Amino acid sequence: AEMARVLADSNHVPLHRLSLLVHSVSIMHKSLDNMPKDENWQALTRNSTNLRVYIMAFDVKSDDMLRILKPSIPLERIHFDSYVTCVSGAVVDLISRQYDKFLTHFILMNDVIDMSAFPDLSDNRNEDPLVLLAWRCTRLSLLAVHGYTVWAHNLIAIARLRGSDLKVLEVTEESIDFDQGELADQ
């Protein structure tokens, strides 16, 4: 929060890019109470109107991400990488709602050992968070998913929603799953 206040000062040259690394180890040793609040991000973006933020999150629990992601962050790119924790559908949904104007890159990686049990972000809901992300984030040009279940029909929906604007759609073959009815038709 203090860094955001200092950078928001009008005496500083406006920022264009801010890269943040959030790691589970650093969260264990430091409180999230000192993270910038939404008003800090608002002040920073007033002086730096072209600011875009890139967040890399390593093994960060979804509850912690929900505390970090403030609505006024001009989030352009986010990269989740995990060995232990998994990103929740709620975090993906929040990202698609809050950052629909800026988000261009969304990378979701889960380096699981058990290749037969990838987490499913949709949690058996009718609306898949990745499809909603592709629908809401109209600037999305890169979507990479490794180690999470992506249903084949949702993958097709994502490709159709973003069309040629989606320059990279990268999904591990093992992540793609089919409904039993689809398999019977193929």
Query: Tens digit of pLDDT for each residue in 107-117?
Result: 999 986 665 67
Sheet bearing 105-110, strands edge to edge: 17-23, 52-58, 75-82, 105-110, 142-146, 168-171
**How confident is the model at residue 10, as a pLDDT?**
77
At position 170, the amino acid (one-letter code) is: E
- Return the CATH number of the domain spanning residue range 19-176: 3.80.10.10
Query: Tens digit of pLDDT for each residue in 8-43?
Result: 887 878 899 999 999 887 777 777 778 899 999 999
Which tokens sit at 54? Answer: 């890139």
The whole-number average pLDDT for the span 178-186 is 61
3-class secondary structure per residue, the chain:
CHHHHHHHCCCCCCCCEEEEEEEHHHHHHCCHHHCCCHHHHHHHHHHCCCCEEEEEEECCCHHHHHHHCCCCCCEEEEEEEECCCCCCHHHHHHHHHHCCCCCCEEEEEECCCCCCCCCECCCCCCCCHHHHHHHHCCCCCEEEEECCEEEHHHHHHHHHHHHHHCCEEEECHHHEECCHHHHHHC
**How confident is the model at residue 82, as a pLDDT?**
87
Query: Tens digit of pLDDT for each residue in 99-140?
Result: 999 999 999 999 866 656 788 888 666 789 999 999 999 999
Mean pLDDT taken over the chain: 88
Residue 182 has pLDDT above 60, yes or no: no
**How confident is the model at residue 179, as a pLDDT?**
74
**How confident is the model at residue 183, as a pLDDT?**
52
C-alpha span between 20 and 6 (Å, rounded): 16
With beta carbons less than 8 A apart as the criterion, state whether 128 and 151 touch: yes
pTM (predicted TM-score): 0.90
Query: Tens digit of pLDDT for each residue in 141-175?
Result: 999 999 998 999 999 999 999 999 999 999 998 88
**2 — pLDDT class (breaks 50, 70, 90):** confident
Residue 186 has pLDDT above 60, yes or no: no
Characterize the bridge pairing of strands 142-146 and 176-177: unpaired
Residue 184 has pLDDT above 60, yes or no: no
Stretch among 52-61, 72-81, 171-180 having the lowest mean pLDDT: 171-180
Residue ranges per structural domain of the chain: 19-176
